[in-house]
Amino acid sequence: MVLELTGVFPAPRDRVYEALTTPEDLARWWGPHGFTVPEIQWDLRVRGSYRMTMQPPEGDAFHLRGEFSAVDPPAAVAYTFVWEPPNPDDRETEVRLSLTDREGSTELHLRQGVFATEERLALHRGGWSDSFEKLERLLDPSR
């Protein structure tokens, strides 16, 4: 089971890539609505690692981590994704974000998988959908 989402964002491709790969921007758009990202460790290079802390509106913070497998500015970035600690239904997945110019805007295609269960895929679909909405607001403050 693989998750695929596509969005078109009102910014040039290099700006969208920057928003996807800099901790300052990531902290502003990553995660479901209401969540914050109080800590990001980020080594953006092939075989470099990352770790993020996500804080829900209520409850304890949790973490995700992974390793970069592709860093190709401004066209793509790919990395592994694993929760820390993992849910019994979780497995490590790979996230690939590909960017294409669209006449002053940027098409962003996300592919993540392979998920062990439909429930975990649905959880990630919801989180990424919210994140894409937050990313659009970051890139187009008039919204």
**Average of per-residue pLDDT across 2-18:** 97
- What does the alpha-carbon distance between residue 58 and residue 45 come to, in Å, rounded to a whole number? 34
- The whole-number pLDDT of residue 126 equals 97
pLDDT at 20: 98
Q: What is the pLDDT of residue 143?
A: 63
Question: Is residue 41 in a domain?
Answer: no
The CATH number assigned to the domain holding 117 equals 3.30.530.20
Rg (CA), the chain: 14
Give the pLDDT band (50/70/90) at residue 98. very high
Residue 87 inside a domain? The answer is: yes
Asked whether the predicted pLDDT for residue 73 surpasses 90, the reply is yes
Instruction: Provide the residue range defining the domain that includes 75.
Output: 2-32+71-139
Position 141 confidence tier, pLDDT thresholds 50, 70, 90: confident
- Residue 127 forms part of a structural domain: yes
Q: What's the CA gap between 52 and 105, in Å, rounded?
A: 28
Spatial distance between the Cα atoms of 109 and 114, rounded to a whole number of angstroms: 16
Whether 50 is covered by a domain: the verdict is: no
CA contacts within 13 A on the Cβ side of 131: 20
Average pLDDT over the chain reads: 96
Number of compact structural domains in the chain: 1
Q: What is the tally of helices (H) and strands (E) in the chain?
A: 3, 7
In a domain, 40, yes or no: no
Q: How far apart are CA 112 and CA 69, in angstroms?
A: 13
**How many angstroms separate the CA atoms of 58 and 65, rounded?**
22
Q: Is residue 44 part of a domain?
A: no
90 in a domain, yes or no? yes
Q: Would 61 be classed as within a structural domain?
A: no
Which candidate, 8, 27, 15, places its Cα nearest to that of 132? 8
* Higher per-residue confidence, 86 vs 48: 48
